[in-house]
Structures are given as C-alpha cells and as structure tokens.
Amino acid sequence: MSADALRIADSLRSDGISRPVLEGVVRLADAVMVLATGLAVFALAGSGAATGALPLALLAVGLVSALAFFHAFDCYQVPVMRAGLAQAGRIAGGWTLVFAIAAIAIATTPLTAHVPASVFGAWYVAGLAGLVGMRFLLSRLVRSWMASGRLERRAVIVGGGTAAADLIHELESQKDNDIRICGIFDDRANDRSPAVVAGYPKLGNIDALVEFARRARIDMLIVCIPLRAEKRVLELLRKLWVLPIDIRLSAHTDKMRFRSRGSSFIGTVPFVDVVEKPITDWDMVAKRVFDVVVASLAIVALAPVMLATAIAIRLDSKGPVLFRQKRYGFNNEIIDVLKFRSMYHDMADPAAKKVVTKGDPRVTKVGRFIRRTSIDELPQLFNVLAGTLSLVGPRPHAVNAHTNDQTWDEVVYGYFARHKVKPGVTGWAQINGWRGEVDTQEKIQKRVEFDLYYIENWSILFDIKILALTPVRLLNTENAY
C-alpha cells in the first residue's frame, strides 16, 4: 500500500457501532421505560393494582401500541435520533396518540371503574418525561458518535474519472448521508484516471485495495464502472468477492430503474447489490451470545476430560501441555489457536511446514489418541470466549498450510473467501468427512466448497445442527492422524 493509504487506514477507528443494533437497543430502552413507568404508577395506585390481570393487560397493550406508533413516526431512524427536538416531538406525538385512544376507551367503556383516569394521566406524564428525557440524552450520544466516526459506513470507490466524481457529488448531496468515502482505487494510469477525484486521492490499484480494505475495516466497496463494461466488472469482482464486505455496483450513470429486490439506495442513488457481508448486525450479536453461553457450559462439562488429558500429556512426554499455532482468522488476521500438545516438544511444528501423516513419528502415544478423537481441539473453547474463534465456522488453517509445495490459496480459487466469517472449532466441512490430512488438491477444494456453503447459508439453527452432529461424525477417525 502507498503511504497515503497506510495513513488513512491507521487513522480510522476500530470501535464502530452497528446501526441496526443501535436501533434495536433503543427499541428495548423505550420498552423498558414504558413498562417501568407503568408498573411504578400502578403500584403507587395501591390495592395491588400492579399485579392485577387488567392493569397487566393494559401495560401490554400500551407497550405494543407505543412501539408501533414510535416505529410509524420513524423514531428509530438514526438521522431522527440525532435531532433532539425533532425526535422528542415524534416521541411525544406517538405517546400522546396512545393515550388519546385510551381516553376514548375510558369514555366509552366501564374501564374507568376499574382503573381511574388519574392513573392513566400519571402514567402519561411519567412516561412522557422519561421517554423525552432519554431521547435528548440519545441525541447527544448519536451526534457524538457520528462526529467521531463510530456511526459511519466506510466506503471505497473502485474506478475513477468523471463517473466517480458525479457519484461522489451525488452521495455528498444526500441529506443525512452516513457514507464516509475513504479513497479511490483504480487500475488505470493517471492519464485515464486522475490522481484526485472530487477531492479524494487515488490510493492505489485493485491489489492494494484488498489489503487496504482488510486493514481499514471497510464496510462497502462501490464499483463505479458502467454496467455495460461487463468484462472489466467481472475481473474486478473475481478479486474483490473474497473480502468480508458489501459490494455495490453503482447504477447512477446508467440511469436504470430497479426493483427493490437485488438493489438498494443511498438516498436517491441506486446500486446493484452484488455481494452482501455475511453475519452482520443482530445476526453477529446472536452468534456471539450463542458462542459465549454454549462454550462456557462446554468448558464446565468437559473440565474433567481436559484435566485428565493435561495429566496424560505431562506423564507421556516432556514439554508444555498446550500448543499454540499461528492460523488465519477472520478477515485474514493471524491469530494464536490453542490445542493440547500432541507431538514431542522438540519436534513440534508451530509453522505447520510439514503436514502430519499416518504413523507420523513426531506424534506421541497420547497425541495419536487425542488427535483421532479431536480432544486436542478442546482448548479452543477458550479461544471462543476470547473472541478469536466461533463454535462453528470454517476451520482455521495454519498460515503455511500447503499441498504438494503449493499453499492452499494457490490451489483453490477464492480460498480466502472462507475468512469472511470467524473460523470455528467445528464446521460443516469437518462433519461431512473433510478433516485430517490434506494430501490432495481435491481435499482442500472440498473443504473450501463446504465452508463457502456454510457462510452462504448460515443460521443459528444451522450452527446447532452442526454442533449436534459433531460428536457423532467424529467417531469416523479414518482421516485423523
């Protein structure tokens, strides 16, 4: 990468906030405020009103109605959250509408005989004060996060010239635009693609873009090349699809209209959705919670097995119980993966320069057993708690893993696409028999094929299925040495 590209990449924050997650948290905070003020008011009304069936039913109806009206008034849009008075007005309008409906119910039904109108009035005032006060605090936080770059989507323009300049001007003219353009990358020389476009520098070619996108944690690539230039677009996508980011083709200069499916808009600028970043926002939160809970339970349940294994390793041969190896993690980052040591300490191969084969003399007696049964992988549960691994995902491969003197990224086209998600302790490829020694190109090709299938079809239920099948499939030790 160029010096300018390195400077920009290193200047970007690494603690970004997901907009869908923020919107979900605000919904939850609103729900808590509505319920808390309602319960407090009914409790203060006396006679056990807070626990009666009718008050509880009213609380539920009020909660659902309030959240529905807040959603209808766009109270969960980030641009609205940023404006203190505007969102306070929307919240007040939605909350008032809920109680206007309640007032009609009181006037036309015997409801007031069971719950006095004064109780409804107190709930209205307390809820309004709490919701509006919370929203003013939220507006300050959102403005601060947007100013500091935590609530932005980082984008890179692929392609230059007049088309890129027009797109940049159009994006920057959009109200409440959250796109931060970090630079431009183009394979063409400066005579065909200027070094500076609309005030943004050209930071390098497409090969440099891949490294920059990983280092800067770019969210979106906007390919600003006419859709009719099909060959050039396809050549670019062949290089870029391995990145864990959204890829959009700008349709701005093509003046095309699209159905909502397969396309998206930033303001009024149309894009063709080519590649979606996998496992994002709430999916990422759900997967992380699942990982932490299940890994913690597994560590407790398997503690006797791990303790016995550690003792057996120490009695069998000299050296540490645990073995650390450099492997590829999410986004091609190098991580340290823990395993129980299965080789003689003086023959250990942390760089994975030589593949373990059947009858390998480097493997200890205990090592052969724990490798066949995959007990050697159990310490990776601590990697899961640390956040470098997931319970389920593509297995992390050693950095120098190779077959017939070829590294695996040379053997399989698109190999690094398997690193678009966090690697796992177990995976779809492993439970389908693709584990153990990789001595042919077909074996690594099949692993990558199954890994990509997992990425494209991920769900929590899919993870549960893989975890449930793992102990059964591990009984097949044919390829585990």
Q: What is the pLDDT of residues 399-422, one digit of tens each?
A: 776 666 667 766 677 788 888 899
Mean pLDDT of 175-199: 81
Above 70 in pLDDT, residue 269? no
φ/ψ region of 46 (left if φ > 0, alpha if ψ in -120 to 50, else beta) reads left
Same domain, 118 and 235: no
Same domain, 427 and 312: yes
CATH assignment at residue 245:
3.40.50.720
Q: Which of 250, 275, 300 is the last residue of a domain?
A: 275
Q: Write the pLDDT tens digit of every residue in 329-381.
A: 888 888 999 999 988 887 776 666 666 667 778 888 998 898 888 899 999 99
Tell me if 481 is assigned to some domain: no
Q: Which of 241, 275, 309 is the last residue of a domain?
A: 275
**What's the pLDDT score for residue 258?**
38
Taking the C-alpha atoms of residue 328 and residue 389, their distance in angstroms, rounded to an integer, is: 10
Same domain, 234 and 346: no
Q: Write the pLDDT tens digit of every residue in 131-184.
A: 999 999 999 999 999 888 888 888 999 887 788 888 888 888 877 677 888 889
**What's the pLDDT score for residue 273?**
64
Same domain, 118 and 208: no
Mean pLDDT of 294-311: 93
**What's the pLDDT score for residue 266?**
65
Confidence of residue 436 (pLDDT cuts 50, 70, 90): low
Same domain, 417 and 459: yes
Confidence of residue 46 (pLDDT cuts 50, 70, 90): low
The residue segments making up the domain with residue 343 are 281-473
Tell me if 478 is assigned to some domain: no
Above 90 in pLDDT, residue 481? no
**What's the pLDDT score for residue 296?**
92
Above 50 in pLDDT, residue 256? no
**What's the pLDDT score for residue 283?**
87
Tell me if 233 is assigned to some domain: yes
Above 90 in pLDDT, residue 29? yes
Confidence of residue 54 (pLDDT cuts 50, 70, 90): low
Tell me if 100 is assigned to some domain: yes
Tell me if 188 is assigned to some domain: yes
Q: Write the pLDDT tens digit of every residue in 373-388.
A: 889 999 999 999 999 9
Same domain, 143 and 161: no
Q: Which of 102, 118, 148 is the last residue of a domain?
A: 148
More confident residue, 400 or 100: 100
**What's the pLDDT score for residue 104?**
76
Of 429, 462, 327, nearest to 388 (Cα)?
327
| Averaged pLDDT score across all residues of the chain | 82
Residue 88 CB coordination number (10 Å): 20
Cα-based angle 151, 3, 11 (whole degrees, multiple of 5): 20
Taking the C-alpha atoms of residue 416 and residue 424, their distance in angstroms, rounded to an integer, is: 15
Q: Write the pLDDT tens digit of every residue in 211-252.
A: 898 888 888 888 887 666 667 777 777 778 788 888 888 765
**What's the pLDDT score for residue 299?**
93
Query: How many domains are contained in the chain?
Result: 3
Beta-bridge partners for 222: 157, 248
Tell me if 400 is assigned to some domain: yes
pTM: 0.69
**What's the pLDDT score for residue 85?**
87
Above 70 in pLDDT, residue 254? no
Same domain, 56 and 191: no
Mean pLDDT of 439-451: 83
Confidence of residue 51 (pLDDT cuts 50, 70, 90): very low
**What's the pLDDT score for residue 415?**
80
Of 66, 180, 41, nearest to 117 (Cα)?
41
Tell me if 480 is assigned to some domain: no
Cα-based angle 262, 287, 465 (whole degrees, multiple of 5): 90
Above 70 in pLDDT, residue 27? yes
Same domain, 309 and 320: yes
Above 80 in pLDDT, residue 48? no
Q: Write the pLDDT tens digit of every residue in 230-241.
A: 677 777 777 787
Confidence of residue 9 (pLDDT cuts 50, 70, 90): confident
**What's the pLDDT score for residue 168?**
87
Same domain, 121 and 256: no
**What's the pLDDT score for residue 86?**
87
Same domain, 247 and 351: no
Question: Helix/strand/coil (H, E, C) string of the chain?
Answer: CCHHHHHHHHHCCCCCCCHHHHHHHHHHHHHHHHHHHHHHHHHHCCCCHHHCHHHHHHHHHHHHHHHHHHHHCCCCCHHHHHCHHHHHHHHHHHHHHHHHHHHHHHHHCCHHHHCCHHHHHHHHHHHHHHHHHHHHHHHHHHHHHHHHCCCCEEEEEECCHHHHHHHHHHHHCCCCCCEEEEEEECCCCCCCCCCEECCEEEEECHHHHHHHHHHHCCCEEEECCCCCCHHHHHHHHHHHCCCCCEEEEECCCCCCCCCCCCEEEECCEEEEEEECCCCCHHHHHHHHHHHHHHHHHHHHHHHHHHHHHHHHHHHHCCCCCEEEEEEECHHHCEEEEEEECCECHHHCCCCCCCCCCCCCCCECHHHHHHHHCCHHHCCHHHHHHHCCCEEECCCCCECCCEECCEEHHHHCCCHHHHHHCCCEEECHHHHCCCCCCCCCHHHHHHHHHHHHHHHHCCCHHHHHHHHHHHHHHCCCCCCCC
Tell me if 118 is assigned to some domain: yes
φ/ψ region of 161 (left if φ > 0, alpha if ψ in -120 to 50, else beta) reads left
Same domain, 263 and 325: no
Same domain, 61 and 8: no
**What's the pLDDT score for residue 290?**
92
Mean pLDDT of 197-201: 86
List CB contacts of 153: < 8 A, sequence separation 6 or more: 178, 179, 180, 219, 220
**What's the pLDDT score for residue 255?**
45
